[in-house]
A = this chain, B = another copy of it.
Amino acid sequence: MVKPFWEKKRGGTVTSPKGFFASGVHCGIKRNRKKYDSALIYSPTPCVAAGTFTTNRLKAWPVLYSMRAVREARHHAILCSSGNANCINGSQGREAVDEAVATAAQLLKIEREEILIAQTGLIGVRFPITRFKRGIKRMVRRLSEEEKGGHAAARGLLTTDKRIKEMALSFYIGDQKVTIGAVAKGSGMVHPNMATMLAFITTDCSIAKPMLRRAIRHATDDTFNQIAIDNDMSTNDMVFVLANGLAMNQTIHKVDRDYRLFRDALEEVCRIMAYEMVRDGEGVSHVCTLRVRGAKNPTQAEKAARYIANSMLFKTMLAGADPNWGRIAAAVGASGVQFNPNHLNISFGNVTTVAGGILRASKLPKARKVLRRREYAIDVAIGKGRGRAEFITSDLTTKYVLINSAYS
């Protein structure tokens, strides 16, 4: 394995890059007082921002707000609440976003358009704006540049997640050390309504806004958009990145070596966060990295991988640790991609169980052993083409069904 050019920071979070403050509190959106339900990330130095947004036609109020706001030239803050998705709840929801942003802008002494907002939780419920406004006041007072500030923010955006998801890594552009930090919440569904994948990324890299936009699109395409816990897309999914330039590297203006360094590091951050999300998905007992190769082109490879990764028969097979290759073959066929059964190769971990479309029955016990691990890879070759794709997927367990079929 190639030694990575970046170094992961122990205890790292969104306050690890220079000049970022953060905080999180419980303000009363969630009933449980021990659970934080609000987060704030703030940079006194103006940042450039970029984001990616859910493609669900039904978009929550904070998504509609932030899609507009992100076009502005400079930003200072990301505001977040959890427990209430602020979605299809009438004009009160839109007003709640406006009030929340106005409150934060006034307290931070910045413009409203310099704030991005994300929310996650129950759909179709009135948003408790008074409580959130009180929470914003407390968060502004508590803003901290230390790791504990980032940790508090990481807690503030969780819903049914079992684990906090945060990290930071550093690398060099020229002689300047550049750091990227992130907090995220998983795409497992909130009980009892649909919830959301959120990721907030901070960096002290100096980079022009168009390049930041390009980098985050590239990074999310191959990471957050390639995970499959269930096949549902949330109304609130968003990824934000803020870059304040305090690393003092030469500003990235074009696609060059510096840009690629930054993009690769950003993609690594997104990949680790995405993997953590799948690992922490509802009722997940196995995490599978599914790699498809040999497709005619990358689009066909992705189509096949997405179909397999979301197939209920494939996901229940993972739950049962059963190397049932017929389900994989049938899923490839059902995906509609060009596919030659005589070129089908399937490996569970490093155990090649199907070669040239023929089962090697003697390998099944070893394959079964691989599938009993908590984490493993499955490789599927579907032809002689050059198209490749990778998905991170999880099993479908009775626990998932129990969590999601409980009464609201």
Chain A residues in the interface with B (C-beta under 8 A):
55-59, 85, 87-88, 90, 122-124, 189, 192-194, 230-235, 310-313, 316-317, 319-322, 324-327, 329-339, 341, 344, 357-359, 368, 395-398, 400-402, 404-408
Contact = CB atoms under 8 A, between A and B. Distances in A.
Copies in the complex: 2
Given A56-B333, A192-B322, A320-B406, 9 more contacts: A57-B339, A88-B344, A122-B326, A194-B326, A230-B312, A232-B312, A312-B312, A324-B408, A397-B405
B124 A329 contact: yes
Contacts of A338: 57
The majority secondary structure among interface residues of chain A is loop
A55 B337 CA distance: 11
A310 B230 CA distance: 11
A69 B324 CA distance: 31
A85 B326 CA distance: 10
Contact of A332 (B57, B330, B344, B368): B57
18 contacts: A56-B330, A57-B337, A58-B330, A58-B333, A88-B326, A88-B357, A122-B326, A123-B326, A192-B322, A192-B324, A232-B311, A232-B330, A233-B333, A234-B330, A235-B330, A320-B405, A322-B405, A400-B401
B405 A124 contact: no
A329 B232 CA distance: 12
A84 B94 CA distance: 58
Contacts of A332: 57-58
A406 B312 contact: no
Contacts of A324: 192-193, 408
